[in-house]
A and B are shown apart, each in its own frame.
Chain A
């Protein structure tokens, strides 16, 4: 692995460490705030469960991109599938917010409670990072169409994959955190 590629990969990993600290800050605030009392309890709406399944599937699908390269085939369709799954995930999250408001759980205003606000903010913050992942997938699919990827030259795809898997793991963490903590 050339020095440059190694450096770029490290850059991403350290960036991921940074993002982890951001969410660690938010979730630890959640714990501290919950301990203060005045905390509303409510069920996590179903769309968030479906979105969890979707993002897991998307990560599994993405692992096949590399095997496509091994077969010297284009990973374009795989990447596109992951992108579409990402869009479905986004739609499900928005749906989840809708369900929340139907339940009477609001982000702000009269009657809102930090428990609900935290859920909105954590999912929103995750989604903002996911948009970055979608953009990366878009770039990777364009590169795949142009036939830029090969087994020897797949740095763009590798970085996109790492980040996308991270987004999946991050969501799993947030989901189980919100459900069980």
Chain B
């Protein structure tokens, strides 16, 4: 695979073995799913602002989702919320984010010609693609897609007769997620093995860019936690389709007494959240890795506390496996166990604070270049802080109980996980676009996109905390049926206004992205004056990444503004001077 070889349209663009093309496939599929998920949120936000009224946006929906007066059916509201969560958590922020940047950056930044197995890599994408097709298909089945929430708690997910979405829609959801897990595992295995084995000469683990470290831990988390979701789903499938009683007990439905005895839905929650919490960091760590890279490059300073950054990634990854109970404080958990989970959860604040401190210390007194990528990277740090602070409240069982399942929680996780990761992803796209497509994106459009997105996103999620403190529960079809929430309708309208505006401004990004692929100004080899290896490859894409020999690494990835050098960056391939120390 060392040389650029002849490719047909099919081997180049469709069944490609080249990691860079597979990365783009993940990116485009992820972007498509992000649009679908965002449109869904826009639609259910319209219902929340104007409950029971008709809207032009409902034209996007199958006609039987709408009732006689043109309003959204309540069960389809739940379907939209469920699919929005599923799509954003798994399809966009897991596959779209990791799939894109792990595939794109790992071989380029460690100096490898491709992944350890190009074939497994291709399989990983096509499993993901098949999962996407099944999930989209499930939206159009007559009874509608899964509607029990993205966490698919039984009994709603276990009894096909419970709500419309629990039938075929739920079955397809399970098929889709199984395909998705297989794809993720294949990808994850490949990422780990590639990083461990295919680093070029001189690229010791101590010299790896932080993006690669973050993607490495992400892959390990995925490989260890997704199988548990699979076992959780396996038991659910047996309960659904074969009549076992793992999660079901003493149920009467439509007058029919079911035979299931002794099962426990809490068991499902334990298994689900054992994946569910590491999943949060599967989403977040790549964004933090991307952010580290972009902040160092655009601050023209070495990243502050490289070892502490790696150590805190490791600590976060480890802790993410021992905190799942904080999603279950309200399940009648033994208060002592609750306090153990509170303790482990609050411990995560320490490595998180280390990371934030290091980001800020890197920015401190730096000669900052505010590129769109840099703005999004700083925004990631910003939402990591604001969302993390409410995490302290929710992590404490005594406080969490008061706001459990309210909009406070919705606001919290959308900011800390949703926004941070989306900003990280957008930062990555702006930053590595020249490497992906050989052209530059438009900067001015980038700035407009950033500021409008940033303002709208806070406009959506910040007020949600107040709704939650006022007691407004999440997942309700309407808030107008309860007099105690009448005073909140204005806030709901404001949130919807920002949600719709935020959705519309993404058109700017889409235009910029697709226009620049074809018409953007051509880039130079290293437009950001960056030190890492990917910028030593030729602008034109070749399979094998480097013509001729692989580059040899002589120093770490963050030699910015190093005294004794003319340029304010020293690429990793530059030999150390006599007496010069590598960090």
B444 partner residues in chain A, CB cutoff 8 A: none
Is there an interface contact between A38 and B261, defined as CB atoms closer than 8 Å? yes
Binding stretch for chain A, among B10-18, B193-201, B372-380, B562-570:
B193-201
Task: Say if the beta carbon of A26 comes within 8 Å of chain B.
Answer: yes
Task: Say if the beta carbon of B263 comes within 8 Å of chain A.
Answer: yes
Is there an interface contact between B244 and A107, defined as CB atoms closer than 8 Å? yes
Q: Total contacts A to B, CB within 8 angstroms? A: 113
Task: Say if the beta carbon of A43 comes within 8 Å of chain B.
Answer: no
In the complex, what residue of chain B is closest to A36 when comparing beta carbons? B264
A125-B116 contact in complex given A18-B185, A18-B227, C-beta closer than 8 Å: no
Docked Cα-Cα span, A39 to B267, in Å, equals 15
Task: Say if the beta carbon of B223 comes within 8 Å of chain A.
Answer: yes
Is there an interface contact between A21 and B245, defined as CB atoms closer than 8 Å? no
Docked Cα-Cα span, A150 to B224, in Å, equals 35
A24 partner residues in chain B, CB cutoff 8 A: 228
Contact of B243 among A25, A29, A38, A109 (CB under 8 A): A109
Task: Say if the beta carbon of B231 comes within 8 Å of chain A.
Answer: yes
A109 partner residues in chain B, CB cutoff 8 A: 243, 259
A82 CB → nearest B CB, Å: 26
In the complex, what residue of chain A is closest to B259 when comparing beta carbons? A110
Within 8 A of A (CB), among B253-270: 259, 261-264, 267, 270
A121-B235 contact in complex given A18-B189, A18-B223, C-beta closer than 8 Å: yes
Task: Say if the beta carbon of B318 comes within 8 Å of chain A.
Answer: no
Is there an interface contact between B193 and A25, defined as CB atoms closer than 8 Å? no
Is there an interface contact between A15 and B197, defined as CB atoms closer than 8 Å? no
Task: Say if the beta carbon of A10 comes within 8 Å of chain B.
Answer: yes
Docked Cα-Cα span, A38 to B227, in Å, equals 27
Docked Cα-Cα span, A83 to B194, in Å, equals 32
Is there an interface contact between B244 and A22, defined as CB atoms closer than 8 Å? no
A36-B262 contact in complex given A11-B117, A21-B225, A114-B244, C-beta closer than 8 Å: yes
Is there an interface contact between B197 and A14, defined as CB atoms closer than 8 Å? no
A155 CB → nearest B CB, Å: 14
Task: Say if the beta carbon of A33 comes within 8 Å of chain B.
Answer: yes
B224 partner residues in chain A, CB cutoff 8 A: 17-18, 21
Docked Cα-Cα span, A18 to B117, in Å, equals 18
Is there an interface contact between B246 and A29, defined as CB atoms closer than 8 Å? yes
Is there an interface contact between B234 and A121, defined as CB atoms closer than 8 Å? yes
Contact of B270 among A32, A37, A121 (CB under 8 A): A32
Is there an interface contact between A10 and B193, defined as CB atoms closer than 8 Å? yes
A23-B261 contact in complex given A17-B224, A18-B223, A36-B267, C-beta closer than 8 Å: no
| Chain B interface residue count, Cβ-Cβ cutoff 8 angstroms | 39
Is there an interface contact between A108 and B193, defined as CB atoms closer than 8 Å? no
Is there an interface contact between B274 and A25, defined as CB atoms closer than 8 Å? yes
Task: Say if the beta carbon of B280 comes within 8 Å of chain A.
Answer: no
| Chain A interface residue count, Cβ-Cβ cutoff 8 angstroms | 37
The SS class assigned to the A binding surface is helix
B197 partner residues in chain A, CB cutoff 8 A: 3, 6-7, 10
B267 partner residues in chain A, CB cutoff 8 A: 29, 32-33, 36
B225 partner residues in chain A, CB cutoff 8 A: 21
Contact of A108 among B190, B231, B238, B264 (CB under 8 A): B238
Is there an interface contact between A112 and B193, defined as CB atoms closer than 8 Å? no
Task: Say if the beta carbon of A154 comes within 8 Å of chain B.
Answer: no
Task: Say if the beta carbon of B271 comes within 8 Å of chain A.
Answer: yes
A19 partner residues in chain B, CB cutoff 8 A: 227
A25 CB → nearest B CB, Å: 3
Task: Say if the beta carbon of B192 comes within 8 Å of chain A.
Answer: yes
Is there an interface contact between B223 and A17, defined as CB atoms closer than 8 Å? yes
Docked Cα-Cα span, A19 to B182, in Å, equals 12
Is there an interface contact between B264 and A33, defined as CB atoms closer than 8 Å? yes
Task: Say if the beta carbon of B482 comes within 8 Å of chain A.
Answer: no
Docked Cα-Cα span, A32 to B223, in Å, equals 23
The 10 closest A-B pairs by CB, nearest first: A38-B262, A25-B231, A22-B227, A25-B228, A108-B243, A7-B197, A21-B227, A117-B244, A26-B231, A7-B116
18 contacts between A and B (CB under 8 A): A3-B197, A4-B116, A7-B193, A10-B192, A15-B189, A18-B223, A18-B227, A21-B224, A23-B231, A33-B267, A36-B264, A108-B238, A108-B243, A110-B259, A121-B234, A121-B235, A121-B238, A125-B234
